[in-house]
Amino acid sequence: MGADDREQARSLSLRGVRPPLRVPGYEQESFVGHGAYGEVWVAVDSNSGRKVAIKFYTRRGGTDWAALAREVEKLRYLFNDRYVVQLLKVGWEADPPYYVMEYLEHGSLEDLLRHGPLPAADAVALFRDIAVGLVHAHNKGILHCDLKPANVLLDQDRRPHLADFGQSRLTNEMSPALGTLFYMAPEQADLKAVPDARWDVYALGAVVYRVLTGDPPHRTAPGAAAVLAMGKLEDQLAAYRELIRKAPPPAAHRAVPGVDAGLAAVLDRCLAASPRDRYPNPQAVLSALEAWQLRRVRRPLFALTGAVFAALLVVSGVIGTVLFRDAVATAREQVTDRAVEGNRFAARAAAGRLAVQFQYRWQILEQEARDPQLRAWLSAPVAELRAAGAGDAIDAWLAARKARYDPQFDAGGRSAVWFADNRAGLQLGTAPPHPEHRWQYRGYRDYFHGLGRELDDKAGPVNGIITRPYRSAVFRRKAGDADRFWTVAFSVPVWPADGSHAEPVGVLGLTLDLAGQAKPEGDREGFAVLIDTRPDATGRRGLVVRHPELDGLPAVEEFPRHYADAVVAWADAGGGPFPAEDAYTDPVGGDEGGWLASAERVVVRGEDGAAADTGFVVLVQARRGDVLDPVRELRARLGRGTATAAGLVVLLVAVLWAGLLAVVDARSRSPVVRLFRRWTGLPPPEAGTAGTGIGSATGTARTPVPGTGEHKPLGPG
């Protein structure tokens, strides 16, 4: 009833209008209203005191008794269904005929919606209850075919009850049934349509859309007014079908607060223009709605579970990363420390061996310097020696000493040249023999005068002579026509035979080529470098005289010079741990900061036991990358292990998540969930109830229902 109808009913009740018939067992109280068929009165059951509504069919002339009989028949089928207005009694033989129904004092859903749309939570509750009512009706073979807010009555708890089954059809009926415009499915708007359960699905979606937005779908769309203005029924139905099928899908419900994507998707499918895209029946709608509600209920649980899993993964990842980095850092530190300590030990051992070799060379030179024959040759005038042809004898004597002592050293430690010079600085002999150098002046050489440099005057006069064992500054030894080797000379003074030490009679010495790589003992990576901290010919200190990179260089005139300034600074500071042990830059091989190095000075002991610095420093260095290869391998293994563990954790979490979904969501279509349920023996996901596939129908056309804003298709009746 509209507002005008209710006001008229109230006015008639106040005037004391009597009911057309006294129904035994009921006391009529008030007039409710009248319609095309007759009057409706509110009465009270004399036995139970329950309020009922009595509908009298007082207008027999225009009454479609078949339609009334059909409605009564359907209500009898739905007897005692909470979701349907209950038929209590039928007075079919009375005059006028009547039937008694339960009275729902809160009116219809249409009355409620005149005050505006409802909140999403209330709309969902109505959605579910109306869907349940339709499921009950369909389960008993009854299609409503005219669901709209005016046909949904509300009880004292505002729970919906389905009413007005005048257009309903049994599942075995083929006669058409027209619903109400903008609540009716487009395929239902056809006078040749066969009834179909999907008609009620569309109407259900339209009712809920109206509850949420205030208007049924498409009523405000362009062209809707033209549909209502159509004169002929067939034209109106065709225009309505065309409007629904061509208009864009309704979307106003998506802007309603509380309507999420899941609920919107359920409504969208209910309102699909094509029946193929719609839910097959109200049971499928109810299942989808319950699945959505279950997802909403589970969402906080899943969110919390996901957050816990994510937190566990993050915490595990952070802890694993920290432990991984700590393990790698600790391994790197330990490997570096061991490498540095190994370098330090190797440098100490190599320096010790060199010191022993240097000291031994001085010892054998001092021993041979006491030979009477050598003293005689060095003391004799050069003219006599040349006249006597003593040069070859001196060379032979030197060669015999070289042959005697060289086998005591390895190939890299054997002498290059033995030589003997008299006090005038003239070279008397060499081994190997070099006749072209015999009788030449060598008094300008550092090994002769011990000034730490070679003199510019290569013709004399003699500027002093050494008086103690001496190690010369390094120099370039000639190899053919070019310089190839850095060489150092060890020399000792030769004293007179009378035992006086007023002045030496000459110098006995040997040279040592500083070529070849000095490999540390054992299987350690790296090599030993020899550095001279005394000034070289240019006056600069720290010349690298033995290094693997210097081996095999071409015989060039300008032999390259490389200086280790860090070693000089370390030596000047008094030694101790090398300050750049873990970040040394090799001046020859480059790679800044890419070396681990330790240094040790070469120190010999004199006859009195005092230490004497030779000026040489042994530097043992190893490439950082080679030393840290085991750490990289460890890191790779740990990385693979960590990745495997992380993968297993993720897999475990995925299995747990799939198990949770499989147990909680029995309707999930996820392949993982289906596989998990099959593997664990759980029943397969539930399928929605199949549609009845009855088709569509039309029915008696009606004019617009006054006061409701709803429109029945125009037509006779």
Active centre residues (catalytic): 146
Q: Is 403 helix (H, G, I), strand (E, B) or coil?
A: helix
Q: How many CB atoms lie within 10 A of CB 583?
A: 14
Q: What is the chain's length? A: 717
On the CB side of 227, how many CA atoms lie within 13 Å of its CA?
25
d(CA 712, CA 717): 11
DSSP labels, 507-563: EEEEEEE--S-BPPSTT-S-EEEEEE-S--TTS-S-EEEE-GGGTT---BSS----B
As a whole number of angstroms, the distance between CA 167 and CA 447 comes to 130
In angstroms, the CA 537 to CA 555 distance is 19
Q: Is 490 helix (H, G, I), strand (E, B) or coil?
A: strand
Cis bond before residue 432 (omega within 30° of 0): yes
> For the residues of 124-155, what is the DSSP string, one character each?
HHHHHHHHHHHHHHHHTTEE-----GGGEEE-
Task: Tell me the residue type at 306.
Answer: G
Give the DSSP per-residue string, 186-206.
GGGS-TTPPP-HHHHHHHHHH
In one-letter notation, the amino acid at residue 253 is H
Coil vs helix vs strand at 479 = strand
Contact 417, 487 (CB under 8 A): no
- Rounded CA-CA distance 398/421 in Å is 12
Cα separation values, 105 from 220, 557, 590, Å = 31, 120, 98
Which residue reads 């060489």 in tokens? 487
Rounded to 5°, the CA angle 83-84-87 comes to: 145
Whole-angstrom distance, CA of residue 531 vs CA of residue 599: 10
Strands 160-162 and 152-154: antiparallel
CA distance 455 to 383: 26
Structure tokens at 454: 């070679």
